[in-house]
Amino acid sequence: MTLEVRHPVRRIRQDTERFARLNGWRRTRHEFPMGQLCGRRGRNADLFPLVRRGEDPHHVMDHLFWFNRGRRPVAIVAMPYNAHLGQARMLAARYGLEVQAPPIEKSGWWYPGSARCFAFVQPGTSVQWLLEQTQAL
């Protein structure tokens, strides 16, 4: 059996699309703020309020991906290197959101084996993970 070696940028794009399809979402390149994800209306000029104000000392919001269901924001997925789930939960709580993480801790598709994966979603939103995020291959 030969392992398929993919270019890192192509692999990231393919894994992002697989994750979106698995959840019935669509990746969007149109960034939206956490406030819009939690249902607040209106355009917020500050897309990363915690990062820009220095209120994210643990760098939870690193390597971000935005997802829609239909035309509505459904998730922001972050792939930080050194942040912990507890830190991500504190950040999510500030917006009334939940954060979910796959069973395998460092299984973010940004840099597998080094990056974590945190999905910021509205309460009650179910997140399906890629096979390599749930089972050691």
> For the whole model, what pTM was predicted?
0.87
How confident is the model over 50-96, as pLDDT tens digits?
A: 565 566 777 899 999 999 999 899 999 999 998 999 999 998 998 88
Name the pLDDT band for 15 (thresholds 50, 70, 90). Answer: very high
Q: Which residue has better confidence, 13 or 51?
A: 13
Arithmetic mean of pLDDT over the chain: 86
Contact 83, 60 (CB under 8 A): yes
Tell me, what's the pLDDT at 48? Answer: 58
The answer to whether 109 touches 83, Cβ cutoff 8 Å, is no
Domain extents in the chain: 8-37+48-125
